[in-house]
Every structure is written in structure tokens, then in C-alpha cells.
Structure 1
Amino acid sequence: MKRILIMMICLAGSLKGFSQAQPDQTYSFSINEAINYAYEHKDSVVNAGLDVKSADFKVKETVGQGLPQINGTASFQDYLKIPTTLLPGEFFGQPAGTFIPVKFGVKYQSNLSLSATQLLFDPSYIVGLQGRATYKELYNRAYTRSKIEVAVNVTKAYYQVLVSNEQIKLLDANIKQLKQQMDQTAAQNKQGFVEKIDVDRITVQYNNLITTRENTVRLLALNYQLLKFQMGMPIEYNLTLKDGLSDVDLNEDVAATVADTSFYRNRIEYGLTETNLKLSEFDLKRQKAQFLPKLSANASLSESYQDNSFSNLYSNSFPSSYIGLTLNIPIFNGFQRANQVKQSQITVQKNQNNLNSLKNSLTLQANRAKITYINGLQSLNNQKRNQELAREVLRISKIKYEQGVGSSIEVTQAQTALEDADNKYIQGLYDALVSKVDLDKAYGRIQ
């Protein structure tokens, strides 16, 4: 009985640990919720956030260079053999030209010192302080860029899942009506009204649709995994989607021309390039500041201990201290500073050129995205009409065939045309959704 009780306690503890180790792995997200989840879990965003924190510490490190720099040192020497110095013999009444060996010092020596320096004037340091806000801005904008890229990737992956679900619905509808038609044709064949080849044609189409659906279901599972990957979610977690295709606003108003012609300033790429230009300008100022003198104050306090007996070493001390100023005036260094300034000037010019070129590039991207989106909408609407027409042609073909004025080949061709129209509609739907995301990104609407 005691053994059974111990086993039950151990089993209960194991189950408790297992339940604690298995978190709730089922999630249901809208697009916005999926994006917010990715902001917290996607490695690229998390690392960009860590870079922002690292930049804060880098700024504090720069500020710390202007604070007092205090260092303490301690030393101990045991002279196993005290250094010997030769003194002229005439000092001790010996003949000229002779030397007397004399040992100076004691066996044990120890020094304790405290030194401090304070920067009073350094143009390079002043420029560094001026550029610290711009330096932090660079990493904040890089963090925003990572979030935008993740938002775009998650949205596209989310849409891919929605489109795959829509494709499965269309396949299910076609399979259902084709199954009814196959059963009716098989019954008519048994009654002798239609030939066996008519049944075979429909069966081939039915089998092909079943295979297509199975392939699409497997692709849907893969699309879910891709979405979870883009979100930074473990693949083994369960995920369902709240939003549907009806929640996506697909209309030409989205592509309306932006009134503000400087919309490119909303693009994070422009902000990053602009920040790089500012940093290069600060670097140019820093290089020019190298021509100016630097002034610092310094002070030192030390205690020296000497004795031939280790036990009495710290009985007596010999203190010393000083304060002073150090002025460092650059005079000539082989034109290195001048050449460094010229290099920084070229970097500023290149960054300015990059900014001007990026402005044109972003404008071109926005125009291209707008045209692609409008074309995608027109193609999608056209595919919708073709889909309805193909469905109507199939309906009429089936009626003619049932009334004996049409052929089974005509019905088969109409069914194939409907499947082709469905596939083109699905492709057009995905293209339109992706082009909408690209359009929002091009106009800087995703932040």
C-alpha cells in the first residue's frame, strides 16, 4: 500500500510538471493580432529591438568619456637582490679611477596610488554629444524597418492561407456537383440511355478534382506553417484565422493618388538614408575638430612604503600628490587629418546623392505599385465574370445533354473551362491581395 501511494504521488508530480511544460498551443488571430504577435516573437524584430537597447548603452558610453576617469593602482616588489650602483672611489678617499659598489634601496617596496583625469575641452567629444540623438534615431528607424518587413510578410502569408481556403471551397463545390453528375450518368448508362465512355469522361474529371483538392489541402498546411514561421510562432502550435476575404478592402479608392507629393518621406528607407546623411555630416565635423587642441585636468595621490622587514613594511609611508593640466596641440601628422576630412566630405556627398536617387526610386515604386494594383483589380473582376460565365455555360451544357441535344464532350469541356476559370480567379485574387500590400508599403502606409 505504501509503495502504491508513493507511485501515485510521483505520477501526480509528473503530470503536474507536464501540464506546466505544455502551454496553451492553440491561437486564433486576426491579421492585426498576427502582426502584433510577430512584433514580439519574430527574431528579426526582437534583435532589432536589442540593437536599440545596445545603442542606448553606446550613447551612455560616449557620454561617460567626458566624466572623471579615476583609476587606482597597487604594487609590491621584493628585491631578491638589491640593485648595486658604482660610485667614484675618491668620494671615499680611494685613488682616482676606482669605484666602490654601493647598494641603494630596501628589500621591500610597495606603492598605492589614486589618479584622476577630467576632460575640459575636446571638440571631438562635443561633436559626439551632438550626434548621439541621431545615432539612436538610426537604430530606432532600423527597428521600424524590421517591423514593417515583418508586417508585410505576415500579411502576405495570411492572405495566402485565406486564398487556399477559398480554393478548397471552390473545389468542394465542383466536386459536389460533378459527383451528382457522375452518379446520374452512371444511372443513365445502366438504363442504356448513355454510353460507358460518357461515364468514364466524368470519372476522369472527378478523380482529377479529388487529386487537386488533396494537393491543395497539403499546400494549405504548408501555408499555415509559412504563416507561423513569419510570425515567429513554433510550427507545432495550432493556429486558426479570424479574418476572411470579405474583411479585405479591395477597391480602386485604395490606389487614389496621394495629395502630398512628398509621400516618399513616409517611407522608412528614406528616413534611414536621411539619418545616415546626418551621421556622415557629424563625422565630418568630428574630423575637422581633430585640428583643435584638447585640454584635460589631472591629479594623483600616492603612498610609498619601504622597509627591509616585511612585517614593518606598512609602518611608515611616504606620501606624494600633484594636480595639473595637459594641453594637447596637434601640429603636424603627415597630412593624415586633412586626408581624413576629405574622405568624410566625399562620404557626405555620396549619401546626399543616395538620398536624391532614393527619392526618385521610391516615387517610381509607388507609381508601379499603383498601376500593378489597378491592373490586378481589373484582372480579378474579369476573372469573376469569366467564372460566372463558365458556370452558366456548364449549366446550359448539362441541360442540353440531359435533353439529348448536346454531347458529353460539350459538358466535359464546359467543366474543364469552369475549373480553369476557378484557377485563374484564385490566382488573380492572390495577386490582387499581394499588390494591395505592396501598394500600402510603397505609399508608406505600413508603419
Structure 2
Amino acid sequence: MKYKYLTLIICLCLGLTAKAQQADTVAAFSLRQAIDYAQNHQVSVLNAQVDEEIAINTVKQTIGIGLPQVSGNANFQDFIKLPTSLLPGEFFGQPGTQIPVQFGVKYQSSVGLELNQLLFDGSYLVGLQASKTYKELSQKNLKRTRIETSVAVTKAYYSVLVSNEQLSLIDANLERLRKSLSDTEAMFKNGFVEKIDVDRLTVLKNNLETERENVIRLLALNVNLLKFQMGMTVNSKLTLTDSIASLQADQALVSRDTTAYRNRIEYSLLETQKKLNEFDLKRYKSQFLPSLSAFGSTSQSFQSNNFSQLFDTNFPSTIIGLRLSVPIFSGGIKLNQVRNAKLAIVKTQNDLINLQNGINLEVDQAQTTYLNSQKSLENQKRNMDLAQEVLRVSKIKYEQGVGSSIEVTTAETALKEAQNNYINALYDQMINRVNVDKALGKIIY
């Protein structure tokens, strides 16, 4: 028994170890791989795929309305007390009286089949056409969800890269600052500088270490956001294989394009919605037409006052026929439904014009913002290079005794500010590039 428990404990430990190793698995993704992963794991995409399947089943459901409808039925009745009817007494030679009479037998049963086939119905024919458009709408909704997921993953991916870039700059600054502080402390011990020079550098180092901790926490948050956008569990480990340099190789295309709205899934969705509204109008108009259906039924009935003899004799019955339904007057309901359907089409057409203008404006805004951010990034890069050069010269002057520690401290602060401005400009430029591609309808998935 002891060996049994020992074996169980060992198995549990091995299982937990394997699970821990699985949780520690590091996934490395390029931007393209991250987007592909999200297309298969993001909940919003999975739900959109479910909606597409629902639309497909709805189309089949609509088609089924026009197929033969067959149903079976069976019943059994036990008349504990037979119903009584009153007949005039003249039938029985007792004029002026009412004679109670019971008709029927105690036990009755029947089985049968019914068949109904729709031959013509305008609403069904229109609904059959509209169901295909409804399926198309669900497919476009899935495409829109995929595009939105691609945009979200791309922006989250860029955020992680920018945070990594910021952390690299801080680490480089810290390494340089620690060396300067060490050199200054040595000079102070030898009496070449004052203690205030050491204190100034110490304050800068402490502030930079605090900023580094904040960036590390922000980086972890950005990585978790990327995992969420990809549909990964937050506990998974994720590394990025793309770099900012590789992703900046292809710049966004900036050009005057007044037909970009045709590439946007939002515009295509609204066009499909207009088609559905037009089918609605046809459906309401078709309600003024008659409908025709065929039907047939066959049954076997059984009757007896003795339950054991109930099924000894049967009485068959078979019926076939046509059913024509002609609408005559509906109190104006159908007429007003047609009017509202026409107004819905007009409203959708207005929405299409407004969306077209809105997309053109969005393209102009996105491209203008991108160009501004591109110029700002170039300017901030130059400023950062200049700040680094100023710091280098200030340190040389200080070491040669022709400069002050205040100049070095001021140069360090200016470099830090220039680097922060560069990081902000870099993030804005990368995000604005995504916005331009989205506005032009060039986001792929």
C-alpha cells in the first residue's frame, strides 16, 4: 500500500513538472506570425467564425421552408362517458319531447401522415435570395473582425518594440552615468572635485534607475496587452523576433486617393446592408401576391367498444388538395411596411455617401498626421544625436578642467529629455503608419 501511494505522489509530481515546463514554454513571434496566431486564437475572431456558421445554417433553414414538409400523428381516446346529444322526439314517435342519444364508441384511435408542399410564395422566393446576402454579410463581418484584430495586434506589437527601444537607451545611459559617477567619486577622493559634483550625478543616476523600473513595468504590461490581442494566455512567455529597423524599412504610402473607400470593409458592409434593405422591400411587396401550396394526408382510424377488438377493423381515409391564399385587406399594415422599407433604403444610401466622405477625410487626416510624425521623428533623432554630442564635449571640458559639473549635469538632463522625445515620436510614427494603412484599406490578415 505504501508503494502505491508513493507511485501516485511521483506521478503527480511528474505531471505538475510537465505542466510547469509547458507553461514556461517561450513563444517567439514575428509581427506576421503574431497576426496569424491571433487570427486562429482571438476570441472575437472565433465568435465571428461562429456567426458565419450560424448564417450558413440560417440559409439552409430558409431553403428548407420550400421543401416538402412531412409529419406523422397518432392518437388514442377512451370515452369514459360518451357525449350525449338531444334529438327531437318525432324521430322516435314521441312528438314534443327531447330524446337523449349517445353516438360513438368507447375506444377510438387513429394514425396518419400529412404532406405539405409550398408551390408559390413571393415572400419565400425573396427570402431565399436575401439569405445568400445575409451569408455574405456574415462573411464580411468576419473579415472586418480579422482586420480589426490585425490592427490591434500590430499596434500592441509596436508598443512592445518601442518600450524595448526605450529600455535600451536607458541602459546605455545608466552604463555611461555609472562610469561617470565612479570616475567623479575617484576624483573627489583625490580632492580634484567637490562633493556636490558627486551628488549631482548620484541624483541623475537614482532618477534614471527609477525610470528604468517604470519602463520595465510598462514593458511587461505592453507584452500582456499583446498576448491579450493575440488570444494568448497572460501566463505564456512571449518574445518578439522583429525589430523596429526591419519594420520601418517599408514606409507608408502617402498619395491622394479619393477611391480608397472602395477598399474599406466598412463601406462594403454598408453596401451589403443596402442589398438586404432592398430585399426587405421586395419581401413586403410580395405580401400582396397570393400563395399556393399542395397538401395531402392519409390516415387509419380504429373504433370499438371493446379495447381488445379496437385494432381488428380499420377505416382508411386519404385526402389530397390545393390551398390558395389571397390577401385582400390588411388595414394598411403591408402598405406602410413597403413605405418604411423604401425609407430604409434611402437612409442607407445617405449613410453610404456620408461614409464615403468620412473615409476620404480619414485618409487625409491619417496621411497628414503620419507625415507630421515622420518629420517629428527625424527632427527628434537629430536632437538626440546633438544632445549626445553636447554631453560628450561637456564631459571632455569638465575632465580637462575648463568646464563645470553643472554643464555635464545639464547635458545629461538634455539628453534624457531628447531621448524621451525621440521615443514618443517613434511610437507616434509607427502607430500613425498603421492608421494610414487602415484608412487606405490595405490592412491584410
Q: TM-score, normalised by structure 2?
A: 0.96
Offset of residue 114 of structure 1 = 1.1
Is 2:260–2:359's contact at 8 Å kept on the other side of the alignment?
no
Is 2:28–2:239's contact at 8 Å kept on the other side of the alignment?
yes
> In angstroms, what is the RMSD of aligned CA positions?
1.5
User: Which whole-Å CA distance do the structure 1 matches of 2:119 and 2:19 have between them?
Assistant: 57
Is 1:255–1:374's contact at 8 Å kept on the other side of the alignment?
no
The question of 1:359 aligning with 2:365 is answered no
**1:206-255, Cα deviation, whole Å (9 max, x unpaired):** 1000110011111111111111011111000111111111111356x523
Letter of the 2:184 partner, please give it: T
Structure 1 residues 15-34: aligned runs within 5 Å:
15=13, 17-18=15-16, 23=22, 25-34=25-34
Is 1:264–1:359's contact at 8 Å kept on the other side of the alignment?
yes
Change in Cα spacing, 1:114 to 1:17, as seen in structure 2 (3 Å) is farther
What is residue 104 of structure 2 aligned with on the other side?
A: 105
What is residue 171 of structure 1 aligned with on the other side?
A: 170
What is residue 47 of structure 2 aligned with on the other side?
A: 47
Letter of the 1:329 partner, please give it: V
Change in Cα spacing, 1:172 to 1:56, as seen in structure 2 (3 Å) is same
What is residue 196 of structure 1 aligned with on the other side?
A: 195
**1:30-72, Cα deviation, whole Å (9 max, x unpaired):** 1111111111111111000000000000000000000011111
Letter of the 1:177 partner, please give it: R
Change in Cα spacing, 1:288 to 1:20, as seen in structure 2 (3 Å) is farther
Letter of the 1:76 partner, please give it: F
Offset of residue 321 of structure 1 = 1.1
* Unaligned runs of at least 5 residues, structure 2: none
* Secondary structure of the structure 2 residue equivalent to 1:254: coil
Offset of residue 21 of structure 1 = 5.3
Is 2:258–2:360's contact at 8 Å kept on the other side of the alignment?
no
Change in Cα spacing, 1:113 to 1:29, as seen in structure 2 (3 Å) is same
What is residue 63 of structure 2 aligned with on the other side?
A: 63
**1:389-418, Cα deviation, whole Å (9 max, x unpaired):** 000000111111111111111111110000
Letter of the 1:131 partner, please give it: A
Letter of the 2:5 partner, please give it: M
What is residue 287 of structure 1 aligned with on the other side?
A: 284
Runs of 4+ in 1 over 6 A off after TM superposition: none
What is residue 160 of structure 1 aligned with on the other side?
A: 159
What is residue 229 of structure 1 aligned with on the other side?
A: 228
User: Which whole-Å CA distance do the structure 2 matches of 1:21 and 1:192 have between them?
Assistant: 60
* Secondary structure of the structure 2 residue equivalent to 1:77: strand
User: Which whole-Å CA distance do the structure 1 matches of 2:6 and 2:270 have between them?
Assistant: 65
What is residue 135 of structure 1 aligned with on the other side?
A: 134
Change in Cα spacing, 1:30 to 1:288, as seen in structure 2 (3 Å) is same
The question of 1:412 aligning with 2:409 is answered yes
User: Which whole-Å CA distance do the structure 1 matches of 2:217 and 2:243 have between them?
Assistant: 20
Offset of residue 77 of structure 1 = 1.1
User: Which whole-Å CA distance do the structure 2 matches of 1:7 and 1:84 have between them?
Assistant: 79
Structure 1 residues 183-262: aligned runs within 5 Å:
183-249=182-248, 254-257=252-255, 261-262=258-259
* Secondary structure of the structure 2 residue equivalent to 1:112: strand
User: Which whole-Å CA distance do the structure 1 matches of 2:16 and 2:288 have between them?
Assistant: 67
Letter of the 1:342 partner, please give it: R
The question of 1:275 aligning with 2:303 is answered no
Letter of the 2:321 partner, please give it: G
Offset of residue 133 of structure 1 = 2.1
User: Which whole-Å CA distance do the structure 2 matches of 1:200 and 1:446 have between them?
Assistant: 52
User: Which whole-Å CA distance do the structure 2 matches of 1:15 and 1:177 have between them?
Assistant: 47
Structure 1 residues 303-314: aligned runs within 5 Å:
303-314=300-311
User: Which whole-Å CA distance do the structure 1 matches of 2:123 and 2:16 have between them?
Assistant: 59
User: Which whole-Å CA distance do the structure 2 matches of 1:132 and 1:221 have between them?
Assistant: 47
The structure 1 residue matched to 2:400, chosen from 396, 403, 428, is 403
Is 1:250–1:377's contact at 8 Å kept on the other side of the alignment?
no
Letter of the 2:134 partner, please give it: Y
Offset of residue 8 of structure 1 = 4.3
Q: Percent identity?
A: 54
Q: TM-score, normalised by structure 1?
A: 0.96
Letter of the 1:133 partner, please give it: K
What is residue 11 of structure 1 aligned with on the other side?
A: 9
**1:256-308, Cα deviation, whole Å (9 max, x unpaired):** 316x6422111110111111011101111111111111000011111111111
Is the deviation greater in 361-370 or in 9-18? 9-18
Change in Cα spacing, 1:371 to 1:114, as seen in structure 2 (3 Å) is same
What is residue 366 of structure 2 aligned with on the other side?
A: 369
Is 2:28–2:240's contact at 8 Å kept on the other side of the alignment?
yes
* Secondary structure of the structure 1 residue equivalent to 2:203: helix
User: Which whole-Å CA distance do the structure 1 matches of 2:33 and 2:123 have between them?
Assistant: 46
What is residue 35 of structure 2 aligned with on the other side?
A: 35
User: Which whole-Å CA distance do the structure 2 matches of 1:437 and 1:249 have between them?
Assistant: 11
Change in Cα spacing, 1:114 to 1:134, as seen in structure 2 (3 Å) is same
User: Which whole-Å CA distance do the structure 2 matches of 1:110 and 1:20 have between them?
Assistant: 66
* Unaligned runs of at least 5 residues, structure 1: none
Is 1:116–1:300's contact at 8 Å kept on the other side of the alignment?
yes
Offset of residue 7 of structure 1 = 3.3
Is the deviation greater in 418-427 or in 6-15? 6-15
